[in-house]
Amino acid sequence: MTTSMPTSPFTDPVPAHRLERAAAALAAHGFTVEILDGAADARTRVQCLIPEGASVLTGASETLRLSGIADDINGSGRYDAVKPRVLAMDRATEGDEIRRLTATPDVIVSSVHAVTETGSLVIASGSGSQLPGNAGGAARAIWVVGAQKVVPDLDTALRRVEDHCLPLESARTQEAYGWRSAVNRLLVLKAEHVAGRGTVLLLREAIGF
């Protein structure tokens, strides 16, 4: 059985039946999955999922920025927010401590670049700094994912990373830092073997890259 290619350039929300297919496949692979209407619901749900006082790392994510989730975590004072601490540290003299803080928080909240209807999550990175927490270093992981990121399979997911996400992220880093991004590392999460560790919040709307 073959799956048809998406007709949109990776920007349109997939229909409900494809979102539900991805959710079912992820659940079969050990992920906890919730389908929510939109970013506002995800913002509320994330706050319910994270214990007050937990150390929390937010990944570099337009989804988290646009939804307000990043500000909720890093600026509310409810959590031990890792990102503000890391940004205030000296990378030349405190690099080892930065590496440890980002690799093993209590909770990592991030997004992904693609989720497949076969039940995998795909995350690309230039430096790899946020991959350890997503891969298993964090005790819990929460991924907030817009419906436009659902693709049929892993091959299509990798095309989405290279053809859609990378140009947008490169434009962002060029404006912000003066250099273009790159896909130097790829993390493919095919299953979650620790019950309750990984939660995917699938949104019915498009948000982020």
pLDDT at 8: 57
pLDDT digits (tens, 9 = 90+) for 98-127: 999 999 999 999 999 999 999 999 999 999
What's the predicted TM-score (pTM) here? Answer: 0.93
The band of 15, judged by pLDDT with boundaries at 50, 70 and 90, is very high
Sheet holding 107-110, edge to edge: 32-36, 198-203, 140-145, 107-110, 55-58, 80-81
Residues 56 and 105: beta-carbon distance below 8 Å:
yes
The band of 5, judged by pLDDT with boundaries at 50, 70 and 90, is very low
SS3 118: coil
Sheet holding 114-116, edge to edge: 150-151, 114-116, 121-125, 185-189
